[in-house]
Amino acid sequence: MYFLLAEIIQPINCVLVSENVPSISIVLSERRSNDLKGVLSIKNNVKGNFYTHKPTQKEPSSWSFEKTNIKFKGEAILLKDNEIWHHYQSKIKSHEVNKVFFSGFSSKLSKITNERDLLKATSGFFKIGSGCYGGRIKKG
């Protein structure tokens, strides 16, 4: 039981960096029971909380963003290089995924901000850092 609890609450350091605007990143630092939690920021200026959710039998991989009383969500499209990953295929292992596209993120953010770099970053791909290991905690 202790091992399971330690696995769930263990902190992580998963950094996603925008390919379009490298000063914009998502740092996922907390593993929770159903998601990874972190922040979206421009350099050190936090724009809001960001969550990634693993796929289930009924839902694909997804993302959500929260800022005060605003909440957006959408599908996360995961890739290894230029090939799409999904959990029903066997060609690409989840830990091989190295970039992600957050579908609809930019268009939803455009309702609350006109920050050009932020909209440009969220309309493209984010590189998945080596500490992410497909969203799982790297062992040893």
- Average confidence (pLDDT) over 65-79: 95
- pLDDT tens-place string over residues 114-123: 999 999 999 9
- pLDDT tens-place string over residues 47-61: 999 999 988 888 889
- pLDDT tens-place string over residues 84-134: 988 788 898 888 899 999 999 999 999 999 999 999 999 999 999 988 865
Query: How many Cβ atoms are within 10 Å of 65's Cβ, its own excluded?
Result: 23
What are the residues facing 27 on neighbouring strands?
Answer: 15, 39
**Pairwise CA distance, residues 106 & 28, whole Å:** 19
- For 34, 81, 109, 137, the CA distances from 95, given in Å and listed in that order, are 18, 13, 29, 10
